[in-house]
Amino acid sequence: DLGEEARRGWGLGHTCAQPTAAAAKAAMSGGHLSKEFFELVKSIGESRSKQEEDKIILVEIAILKQHLSSPNISARKMKEYMIRAVYAEMLGHDASFAYIHAVKLTHEKNLFAKRIGYLTCNLFLHKDHELMLLLINTMQRDLQSANHLEVCAALTSVCRLVNLEMIPAISPIVMKLLAHPQESVRKKAVIAVSKFFKLTPDTVLDQKEQIRKVLCDPEPSVMGASLHALYEMAKAHPSSNKDLVPSFVSILKQITEHRLPRDFDYHRMPAPWLQVKLLSILGILGTADQSASEHMYEILQECMRRADSGVNVGYAIIYECVKCITKIYPDHGLLEQAASNISRFISSENHNLRYLGVTGLAQIVQVNPTYAAEHQMVVVDCLEDPDETLKRKTLDLLFRMTNPQNVTVVADKLTFHLRTSVDAHLRGELVQKITSLAERFAPNNEWYVETMNTVFELGGELVPPDMAYNLMRLVAEGTGEDESADNAFRAFAVNTYLKLLEKPTLSDILVQVIAWVLGEYAKLATVDGYTIEDIADLLAECMDRPFEDLSTRGYLVTALMKLIGQQNLQSSSVEKMIRSYRSSRLTDLQQRCYEFEQLRQSSALMRKVLPYDASCEDIAVDKNLTFLDSFVSRKLSEGAKTYQSASERASRAAEANSAGQPRYEPESKPTLNFTPYEAPTKAPVVPPPPPDGSSGGGGDAGYSGGGQSGEAQKGFNVAGPRKWGPSGYNNPGGSRPEPPPPVQEKPPPAPDASASMAVTFQPKPSATAAKAPEPPAMSEKQRMAAALFGGIGGNAGASVAPTASASAASSYSAQAARKPAAQAPAPAAAAPPVPVEKAPAAAAAASGGVDLLDFDLLGTGSDSAPSQAATRASAAPAQANDDMLLLDMDGLGGAHAAPAATAPPVQQHILGPMQATTQQVGSMWGQLPCERRVQMMTSIGNCQDMMVRLQNSMNVSPVEIIGMEGIAAGRVLPGSDPCFLHGKLAPPRLEILVKCRDPGVAQSVADLCQRSLA
């Protein structure tokens, strides 16, 4: 077309080279466009304001409406009009008058017009547009056309515009196109199938075998397109696609060996996009499956080696390999290679590579946090980097590697960025991270309260309401073990909130928490200069502050109601405030004020309705309503009819029908009223009630006018005390607990997953050994790194020993954290990073009393005095424990020591029993991120036997049995993290679903279930 127009403009007498030059000049000057379109583009480009641009487009829309209303428009002109209409829509104006013309173009027999019609329909319409009804028949006809260009145009629209109603009519045709002779048609058909799966998976799963055959298509582009559909299927149903792992591995191997055409290379990297998609699929299929993962180990190692070519796309493949390695069943060699590659990224001066390294390191620390220890200084540098994206990823890395020893430092860092950041999205993420860390690793209740108060104060509008509820519940319940300690904690909370209330501006959610705590426990306040009357006056003054949440003032009124009722106070400021808000436009607040005035008239009733510290008490409900017996008896004696239940009324109606009597219908059955309305009459004038509402029915009318607020019960109904403190396999810090009785011997801690199978204990030097040289003085940045990486073993450098030994820390529980005397140890200081060295085989006691508490399990280089028993112990080779069930997948535990030769074997349990109700399991089920599913053949015949077998072999507590399904609950030892098991029995098949926080624990429990129940 351009050449033809150029020849018309330049004449036919030019040489062969002249039309090409003319065409180029015409294209640059807009000679191939109409004058109107050229002027439109030129004027919009020269416009200097949005208003001027809008005027031009409005004029253009008027011109288009005029042109499209004329008959017999040529295909060439219609194409230009459609493009001009698209131009108007792109600039934010309505061009819906052109939609029907785009649909008409799809009906044309001319291929050029048809393709323009499909293209503009893709841009104009959406899948639920009303004009889609006019496209279905055309799509069906074009999909069956002999011209593959028409089929391709229709398939493009199918991928863009298909909806649920169209799939039954179109999917059979598209499935047939998977075997079309043209590769372009097959490729677009596979993409359409992927779209179908996202809308209705069942439609595609019925043709799963046909889609799998596309993976063997001789055309690489068609095979690559099928990976998207197979990826979605693997993500939705991984177990049914695991048999494709050898095929995916074979394809990836052929790609890395350059067996695809050179057209698929990018910067001399063979088909990198296909490699990335294949690695994503393998990561899904290899999760928690050792046999499937073993097929991948070799190709993943080869893929990382070949991708290390120094180009960006190669780095992308390496990162995808790292993600895959961290998802599949762990392999020590692959983890080492992945950590080595990530080490190069994070140490690079290029910000993009450093970002990639921090992101990859965050993936690796999920499997073993010790790999992050050697990069502690780089992580600190990234925290101070001006690049915001790098800083955010580093904060995410810190969140993932938090443990009970460094939680205070990490929380302080996150809080600092919450205080300084103005990005709403980042602030929301920080609030979620801080609250999650506070709930999982809080060293004590006081720290938890202070941390949550800071979060409420800085990001109150971003905090979900259940966080405030959890905090109030903790204050109400305490530990449930020591009443004096609970009262001391409540007094601490009251004093803290009383000081906070003096600040002029507070977030709504923080004011609500303060109001509830002071309303319940204000009499525990010990702040100098504050009496109960002063606290009530302070709460009354807060009512005049500006609040965004309309319910906040309701919290304050309820708190004042509790204080006045419990302490029988007389406060003129409170009564004045109640009178002023009695006429509030907010119905809920108005009703609370009226209730306050009514209850105030009877102090005894007020104390009974609002007792002290009764939020955790169960409310007794009389389901039989016995308090109405006297009323019912009186009405029956007056001649009222006896109440009949629905079944009694139905039986009475059936008896009447069988006896031929008129059908019995209850008198209260609602019917349509056909009686015409009466003529309106003037209503009598009712005198208004007195202003104070104290005489006659005026007060009652004013009270009931507010309506019932429908407010839910504010009390707490709990089934057990809330436990806060360390969780998971991380070695918690804290005060050393009381030693157990001699007969209850503690099993040694689990070995580290990141170390080799032969890692053993190293006893500390004897008391007579020479003192080690003191480490050099650390800089501020090194001290920060030591604090952030506290509790992470490996090559974190020499550090000061914590207050409790590693073995004592491993037996630390949430109950110890709840005691006021139990304080979290200060973060351990670390020297600059040192190269990784393999520890030699450690000596263990051959006989007699070696005190395991004196061994340095965390590798922290403690300089505390060793026990005398350890100095007397003779050296003996340590036995490595190869049982994967004992591996500490978090990598925070110490190595596993071999028992003494004369010691009897001790059974190692992963889980301990945990008492829980079905409701508690349901509330916590969605909060556990890791899930493992095991299917097996079993000889168990009923669900009761299954639960008994689970209880005996897994050391868990049964929760409930429903039919052929059962739920059991356990806690991950040595902490208190929950782990739930759901069994579904269909003899001879058994399916076990494991839910917990840690992926390593989930896999270990799943493997043990496989061995114990099969």
For 582-638, what is each residue's pLDDT tens digit?
888 889 999 999 998 888 888 888 888 888 877 777 777 888 888 888 999 999 999
- Of the pLDDT bands very low, low, confident and very high (cuts 50, 70, 90), residue 663 is low
Between CA 447 and CA 631 the distance in angstroms is 55
- Of the pLDDT bands very low, low, confident and very high (cuts 50, 70, 90), residue 776 is low
Between CA 466 and CA 472 the distance in angstroms is 10
Strand 957-962, strand 965-972: pairing: antiparallel
For 72-110, give the DSSP string: S--HHHHHHHHHHHHHHHHTT---GGGHHHHHHHHT-SS
Q: Which of 492, 489, 501, 490 is nearest to 456 (CA)?
A: 501
- Of the pLDDT bands very low, low, confident and very high (cuts 50, 70, 90), residue 791 is low
Which range among 412-416, 496-500, 789-793, 807-811 shows the weakest confidence by mean pLDDT? 807-811
> 204 is written with which tokens?
């595609």
pLDDT value at residue 180? 95
> 446 is written with which tokens?
């006081």
Residue 750 scores a pLDDT above 50: no
Residue 70 scores a pLDDT above 70: yes
Residue 644 scores a pLDDT above 90: no
> 102 is written with which tokens?
């785009």
Task: For residue 508, count CB atoms less than 10 angstroms from its CB and return exposed for 0-12, middle for 13-18, buried for 19 or more.
Answer: buried
pLDDT value at residue 792? 62
Residue 767 scores a pLDDT above 80: no
- Of the pLDDT bands very low, low, confident and very high (cuts 50, 70, 90), residue 756 is very low
Between CA 341 and CA 929 the distance in angstroms is 27
**What is the DSSP code (8-state) at residue 986?**
E
Between CA 776 and CA 832 the distance in angstroms is 9
Neighbour tally for 341: CB within 10 Å: 22
Residue 565 scores a pLDDT above 50: yes
Residue 401 scores a pLDDT above 70: yes
Between CA 217 and CA 233 the distance in angstroms is 18
pTM of the model: 0.57
Residue 825 scores a pLDDT above 80: no
* Rounded average pLDDT over 378-404: 86
Which stretches of 107-207 are DSSP H helices?
A: 111-124, 136-143, 148-161, 167-176, 183-199, 201-205
Q: Which stretch, 567-571, 847-851, 857-861, has highest mean pLDDT? A: 567-571
Q: What integer best gives the mean pLDDT of the chain?
A: 76
Residue 208 scores a pLDDT above 70: yes
- Write down the residue that tokens 């000061």 correspond to: 800
- DSSP-derived 3-state class of residue 158: helix
pLDDT value at residue 683? 53
The rounded percent of the chain whose pLDDT value lies above 90 is 34
Between CA 335 and CA 321 the distance in angstroms is 11
- Of the pLDDT bands very low, low, confident and very high (cuts 50, 70, 90), residue 346 is confident
The answer to whether residues 854 and 764 touch, using CB atoms and an 8 Å cutoff, is: yes
For 959-1003, what is each residue's pLDDT tens digit?
988 878 899 999 888 777 899 999 988 887 888 999 988 888 888
> 65 is written with which tokens?
């409406």
More confident call, 720 vs 322: 322
Between CA 422 and CA 261 the distance in angstroms is 50
For 692-710, what is each residue's pLDDT tens digit?
444 333 333 333 333 334 3
Question: Nearest 5 degrees, angle CA 593-CA 595-CA 599?
Answer: 120
pLDDT value at residue 739? 44
* Rounded average pLDDT over 876-902: 36
Residue 225 scores a pLDDT above 90: yes
pLDDT value at residue 504? 87
For 169-178, what is each residue's pLDDT tens digit?
999 999 999 9
pLDDT value at residue 283? 95
Between CA 729 and CA 831 the distance in angstroms is 25
